[in-house]
Structures are given as C-alpha cells and as structure tokens.
C-alpha cells in the first residue's frame, strides 16, 4: 500500500499550502505555448538570424505541463509576419537537465550568429544555487555546453547588460550575488559587484573594466554605434548604501544625467540631460537610429515607480547627441521586469509583470504569450510583427528640435563631444582589424609575460590616444568626414559587419581563460599581486581625457 502511494505521488505531484493538499497533474512535454502560461516573467532574450530566442521558461508555469523540472527554450520565427498573440507560434524545446534552471539571466550571441551564451541568473527558490559559469547553445544542432575555462565568473543578477555582436563583445554592469546565485551566501545578504564585465564572444575571455559609479542595480545599458568602436550608455538604476549587507538602503539614481562609456578610449563620462521623463525602475530600453538626422533615440519602455510601486505606462526616448528627453505615446497596459529586443523600428517587449508586488495580484504575470510589440515609428502597440518595417525616422517635432539644437548647450566633459560630432561608426577596414588584433595579442602577452613589455605597448597606445584627443579638441572643422556612411539597422544581428577586435589596453584587468590560476570576477576586489601591479601601472600611464 505504501509503495502504491509513493508511485501515485511521483505520478501526480503534491502541493501542500495552508493546511490543505492540492494535487497538480504533471502532463506531457509541450511543443508550443498554445495553452498559455502564468507568472514566468523574467526571460533572457536575443534576436539571431530572424529568430527571437527566449530562455528561462519554467514548465511548472505552463498550464499544460505543470512540471517545474522541465526547462524550455522558446523560439519565435520573425522571418515573416507573425501574430504575437497566437501561442502556437512560440516553439518550445526542452533544455537538458544538466543545464541549470535559471531566472534573470542574460542571453548573448556571437558575431557569427552561431552560438548563444547564457550568463548570470538565479536558481529557483527551492533549488541549490548553481555556481557555474556561462552555458553555450549551438544553434546549428541545438546542443548545450558549459564553457570550461580556468576563469570562473561569479553569477550575478539584476545588473544591466547589452550584447554587441559587431564588436564580438557583451557587457554586464553592476548587479549582485545572493543565496540564489552562490552557495557561499546562506542568509539574506546581497553582495554587490563593482565594475563592468566585458565578455569576448569569440575568444570567450573576460575583462573587468572600471565603472566608477558602481555598485548599482537595475538600470539599462545600451550600445550606440558612434565613432570608433562606439559607446555604451547607462541610465537609471539604484545605488545601495553598502556594498554588502542585508536590507541595505537603496537610493534611485537621478534621471537628469546618464553615464557614457567610450569603448575605444576606455573612459566613462557623466552627461547632464534635459527634458521631462518619468523616473522608473525595472524598465527596458532599445535604440533607434534615424540616418537623416545622424541621431540616436534611446527608448525606455514602461517599468514601475520605485517609490510608489505603481506601474508606469510611459514611453520616452532620449535623443543623443542632444541628450534631451522626449515623450512618446505610452502603453495601454504597462509592464515591469521585462526585457526588450529591437528589430528595425519595432521593439519587442519580452516577459514582465503587471504588478510591483506579484503576490497581491496572482494574475500579474499571466498572459497568453510572452511578448508585446511597440512600433517606435507609429508609437502604437501592435499584435502583428512585420519584418518589412525597418526604417525609422524621428517624429517631425523632434527632428526640428534636433536640427536647432543638435548638441547639449554645454558638455559636462568636452572630450565626450568627440564621440558624437562626427556621425555614426564608420566601420573598420581589414587592414585596421589585423593591426588591432596584433596589438591585442601583444598587450595580452605583455600582461602575462612581464610588465616591461606591456609598458612599451601602453606607451605607444598612450601616444596614439594623445594624438587623437588633440585632434578632437582642435574643432569640428578638422574631424574626418564620415557622415555619408550609414550604420547597420539596429536590432538586426547581421554577420556582414567588419570584425573589430576589442583592445585590452584600457582594461581594468584582463582575465585570460588560458592562465594557470582561477580568478573569480567579484567586482575587482580579489586580484593576484601581478594583476594589481599591472593595474597600478596602467593607472599611472592612462592619459587624462
């Protein structure tokens, strides 16, 4: 009799709550989302070769599955018009059980569009935290593999991140560890990271970069293909009172400024913004580009007010290089905790929930399908995705305003103007790519083999950057003409861009996967003595900008 009871429990599963026993029938593995899902709101998402990939789908949240041990990857074909409200269009594939079940992770891709990388994330509440690193998904055969290197990156959540396949790079800024991300924490402590992780999606090497405004949580990090290697822009976010602690006081950042990172120079700049924008947390952001105005628009979609906990339906965009905020038509029903992926002028919102405190609204994270679409051109929410809707243009009133005031009335740092006064990224020739690749190898070799060689190389880099900066400060008239070159359409991950390798010359510390020792990426506080000497040397030789 007892054996029969055990078999029944295994077959149907048992949930105990508030003194009652509820049975939940575990059904078959699902092939699509035609039966809907509920309360599964944080996905990793990426568009690769006209397919939207989403990971983090818990089978226990599927009405037709109810098996929490099932972990799914979702695929949505974007090569033709598709109804986003039809669950049968979202195809499911079961992720192997040896791949950890995670929430809140990033999903990055390489330049060849052949591999997805899952970084960060937390284990579900009742599961042992996974202390592993990056997992790779090979699109061609649907196989999963853990990245095995001598470097073991810590698992972070609630950081800001962006994928830049044209630079063979992905970035993760801020965030923290908890008992759901590491077995070394057993209480309610949040351990915040400092700095920004740069992950080379070709060599699979990590570089820890400086970010003086960290620790920070939430916010958004986007990439702009401006001059040279382009720029990263961080906006929003909240700052903890202490790097480590339980129930640490959190202060939201002001939206009256943004942080801009010059990738080529390895420098952060703080720039004041103007205009009106609703402050928010747990929002998503995507970039639109209008070639006719040589400006970028960073759209922030929905979110929640950090103080009142009310959902924000607002959609606003920050125009750069004017660094001015503008309002767009909002959503009819707001979301928070979602992520965004842009395809042409269309912004796909993925996941999210409709209440700040989900327990107060059991249906806050329940929808028929996990995506919604915001058309930045028409400022409308649509249910049909159309891959032909690519070209974006700035609204007429905004275009006129940009034409009259294309840049800020004052740059907080004049050097920042260099990135945006000469139009979008003009690409990189094959000859330039080979040269930069050689320099990177020499720099890495210098760091690993000895400080003297690195010092010589850094001296050459310093001389080059100093010459470049002098030219930048001589006025716009002497800047090279590149405005006729158009950037790629943002949101489309094309493999046709010229390969540009990221130099390590401005890194806080480069952590190679080929070394003999293991270093955890813990915000830069734990470094070997040789790394510390290298950092100190670079700090002394880095030119001011």
Per the CB < 8 A criterion, the answer to whether 273 and 298 are in contact is no
Identify the pLDDT of residue 363.
64
Burial of 377 (0-12, 13-18, 19+ CB in 10 A): middle
Per the CB < 8 A criterion, the answer to whether 211 and 542 are in contact is no
Identify the pLDDT of residue 446.
31
- Specify the 3-state DSSP secondary structure of 363: coil
Identify the pLDDT of residue 29.
85
**Which residue is it, tokens 């861009």?**
497
Both tokens assigned to 143: 């196989």
Tell me the HSE value of 408 on the side-chain side, using a 13 A CA sphere: 23
3-state secondary structure 254-272: CCCEEEEEECCCCEEEEEE
Identify the pLDDT of residue 358.
61
Identify the pLDDT of residue 486.
31
**First CA to last CA across the chain, in angstroms?**
78
Q: Which of 44, 166, 179 is nearest to 99 (CA)?
A: 44
- The two beta strands, 82-83 and 384-385, are antiparallel
Cβ within 8 Å of residue 12, ≥6 positions away: 23, 24, 25, 26
User: What average pLDDT values come out for the chain (545 residues) when binned by 10 residues?
Assistant: 37 35 56 82 94 90 80 96 96 93 94 97 82 90 88 89 98 97 94 97 94 98 96 98 96 98 98 98 97 92 95 98 98 94 98 78 74 97 98 95 95 94 46 29 30 36 39 36 33 34 41 35 37 35 34
Tell me the HSE value of 158 on the side-chain side, using a 13 A CA sphere: 24
User: CB neighbours (10 Å) of residue 401?
Assistant: 17
């Amino acid at each position: 009799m007892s054996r029969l009871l055990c078999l029944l429990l295994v077959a149907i599963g048992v949930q105990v709550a508030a003194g009652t026993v509820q049975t939940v029938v575990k059904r078959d593995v699902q092939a699509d989302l035609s039966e809907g899902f509920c309360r599964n709101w944080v996905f990793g998402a990426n568009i690769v070769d006209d397919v939207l990939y989403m990971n983090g789908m818990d089978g226990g949240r599927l009405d037709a599955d109810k098996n929490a041990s099932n972990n799914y990857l979702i695929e949505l074909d974007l090569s033709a018009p598709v109804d986003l409200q039809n669950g049968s269009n979202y195809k499911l594939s079961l992720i192997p059980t040896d791949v950890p079940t995670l929430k809140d992770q990033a999903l990055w891709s390489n330049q060849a569009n052949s591999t997805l990388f899952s970084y960060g994330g937390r284990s579900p509440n009742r599961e042992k935290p996974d202390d592993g690193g990056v997992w790779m998904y090979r699109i061609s055969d649907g196989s999963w593999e853990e990245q095995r290197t001598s470097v073991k990156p810590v698992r972070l959540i609630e950081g800001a991140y962006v994928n830049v396949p044209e630079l063979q790079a992905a970035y993760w800024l801020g965030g923290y560890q908890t008992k759901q991300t590491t077995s070394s924490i057993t209480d309610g402590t949040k351990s915040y990271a400092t700095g920004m992780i740069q992950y080379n999606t070709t060599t699979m090497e990590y570089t820890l970069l400086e970010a003086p405004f960290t620790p920070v949580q939430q916010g958004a990090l986007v990439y702009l293909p401006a001059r040279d290697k382009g720029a990263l822009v961080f906006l929003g976010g909240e700052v903890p009172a202490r790097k480590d602690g339980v129930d640490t006081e959190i202060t939201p950042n002001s939206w009256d400024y943004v942080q801009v990172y010059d990738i080529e120079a390895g420098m952060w700049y703080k720039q004041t913004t103007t205009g009106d924008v609703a402050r928010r947390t747990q929002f998503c952001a995507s970039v639109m580009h209008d070639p006719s105005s040589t400006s970028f628009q960073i759209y922030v979609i929905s979110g929640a007010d950090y103080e009142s906990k009310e959902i924000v339906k607002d959609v606003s965009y920050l125009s750069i290089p004017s660094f001015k905020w503008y309002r767009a038509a909002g959503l009819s029903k707001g979301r928070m905790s979602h992520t965004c992926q842009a395809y042409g002028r269309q912004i796909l919102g993925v996941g999210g929930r409709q209440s700040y405190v989900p327990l107060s609204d059991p249906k806050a994270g329940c929808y028929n399908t996990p995506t919604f679409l915001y058309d930045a051109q028409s400022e409308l929410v649509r249910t049909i995705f159309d891959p032909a809707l690519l070209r974006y243009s700035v609204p007429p009133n905004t275009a006129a305003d940009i034409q009259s005031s294309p840049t800020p009335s004052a740059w907080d740092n004049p050097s920042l103007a260099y990135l945006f006064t000469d139009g979008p990224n003009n690409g990189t020739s094959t000859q330039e790519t080979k040269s930069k690749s050689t320099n990177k190898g020499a720099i890495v070799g210098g760091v690993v083999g000895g400080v003297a060689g690195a010092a010589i190389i850094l001296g050459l880099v310093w001389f080059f950057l100093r010459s470049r900066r002098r030219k930048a400060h001589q006025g716009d008239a002497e800047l090279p003409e590149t405005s006729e070159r158009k950037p790629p359409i943002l949101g489309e991950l094309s493999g046709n861009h010229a390969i540009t390798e990221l130099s390590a010359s401005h890194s806080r510390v480069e952590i190679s996967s080929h070394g003999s020792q293991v270093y955890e990426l813990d915000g830069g506080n734990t470094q070997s003595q040789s790394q510390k000497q290298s950092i100190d040397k670079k700090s002394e030789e880095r030119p001011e900008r």
